[in-house]
Structure 1
Amino acid sequence: MARPIDAKDRAAVKRMHAAGKSRNDIARAIKRSPSTVSKIAAELGLSFDRAAEVAAATAVRKADLAQRRAAFAERLQDIAEREADRLEAPTLYWEWGGKDHKYAEKTADLPIPGDRRAIMSTIATAVDRSLKLVPPKDDGAAESRSVIGDLMAGLARDYAERHGGPPAEFVTDDQAAEDDGDA
């Protein structure tokens, strides 16, 4: 049979709750089950709901991750730019070998085509990953399109007011069906 809840348990729960202890920590401290601690807390009008704290911590964590992603995206963009500079830079080629194990080097004005392909691949990968980490913001084109749409709608309303209806090319199928029914 379960041990009855006494004033000592209630006082301990109230004190530890005020100290910010979790339900499970209190249960271990007073050697009672977590459900008993929840029952005592409910009787005392206390709650272990930490949704606000968890939400705040989650928001902070998300903000930290967003900042880290942005910093890493910037690093990837820097890599892409450095690699792009290498496409046009003189390149040192060397070899070590032959029967005499001789070292030879040559500086080419530009990287050879295979190296240029590899550099382009590195640039493309770095830029692609950078854009996935931090997608570009809208350049305002959508806003411009909505302004033009609003302007066209305003002109169509003005025309309709002056001429008693929309221009023929602006008549919708629903309006045309209504007009046919009136005739």
Structure 2
Amino acid sequence: MVARPLTAKDRAAVKRLHADGKSRNDIARAIKRSPSTVSKIAAAFDPPLKFDRAPQVEAATAVRKADLAARRAAFAERLQDAAERELGKMQAPTLYWEWGGKDHEYAEKLADEPTPADRRSIMSIIATAVDRSLKLVPPKDDAGAESRSVIGELMAGLARNYAERHGGPPPEHEEPEAPADDDS
């Protein structure tokens, strides 16, 4: 198969569509040429036409990440709601039913609260829902963890400084011995 020669019409269409903000692949579809042919045509212009969409891609990526974060937060909230609904069932009256006996009779019993086995199942559901919601949106307001982190970083920095000045790690802390009772 012989390639179609490039025409002035192809060049004009590439320049016009590029000016309209079309991507290389969109231009290729519009003029019924391959993307590599569009790239060759674009490179022949002085200055060459560029298809750098990094800023648009970066902005679209940021928007997509924000959308996903919002969806995760909404889903985490729904999981917390489910956990709270299940918690409400822990001490609520519960209807138990069964088909049984030789005549396959239906029987119902209203219990004051779920059986221990059902309570364990409910607790498992609650624990799973809370765990998953915390994994989707971890809490950020744990001041204690932040304080521990700051203190840990401070201690590590002091240890590095000591090692730089003294050529080795600081000595381990030893408790002073209590004075011996001298009854003599």
TM-score, structure 1 normalization: 0.71
Question: Structure 1: where are the runs of 5+ without partners?
Answer: 153-171, 179-183
C-alpha distance in structure 2 between counterparts of 1:88 and 1:59, whole Å: 45
TM-score, structure 2 normalization: 0.71
C-alpha distance in structure 2 between counterparts of 1:130 and 1:35, whole Å: 47
Alignment of 1:147-166 (within 5 A): none
What's 1:140 paired with? 143
Q: What one-letter code is carried by the residue in structure 2 that aligns with 1:43?
A: A
C-alpha distance in structure 2 between counterparts of 1:176 and 1:60, whole Å: 51
Question: Structure 2: where are the runs of 5+ without partners?
Answer: 156-161, 169-184
What's 1:8 paired with? 9
SS at 1:110 equivalent? coil
Report whether the alignment pairs 1:104 with 2:111: no
C-alpha distance in structure 2 between counterparts of 1:16 and 1:52, whole Å: 19
Q: What one-letter code is carried by the residue in structure 1 that aligns with 2:25?
A: N
Deviates more, 1:62-71 or 1:89-98: 89-98
C-alpha distance in structure 2 between counterparts of 1:82 and 1:33, whole Å: 57
1:97, CA displacement in angstroms? 2.5
Alignment of 1:70-109 (within 5 A): 70-109=73-112
The C-alpha deviation readout for 1:137-180, integer Å capped at 9, x for no partner, is 1411244346768999xxxxxxxxxxxxxxxxxxx5776789xx
Q: What one-letter code is carried by the residue in structure 1 that aligns with 2:96?
A: Y
C-alpha distance in structure 2 between counterparts of 1:21 and 1:175, whole Å: 61
Q: What one-letter code is carried by the residue in structure 2 that aligns with 1:86?
A: K
Aligned pair in 2 of structure 1 residues 113, 26: CA closer, same or farther (>3 Å)? Answer: same
SS at 2:87 equivalent? helix
The C-alpha deviation readout for 1:46-66, integer Å capped at 9, x for no partner, is 211222222222221221111
Deviates more, 1:132-141 or 1:70-79: 132-141
1:76, CA displacement in angstroms? 0.8
What is the total number of aligned residue pairs between the two structures?
161
C-alpha distance in structure 1 between counterparts of 2:59 and 2:167, whole Å: 56
| Runs of 4+ off more than 6 Å | 146-152, 173-178
Question: Matched residues, percent identical?
Answer: 77
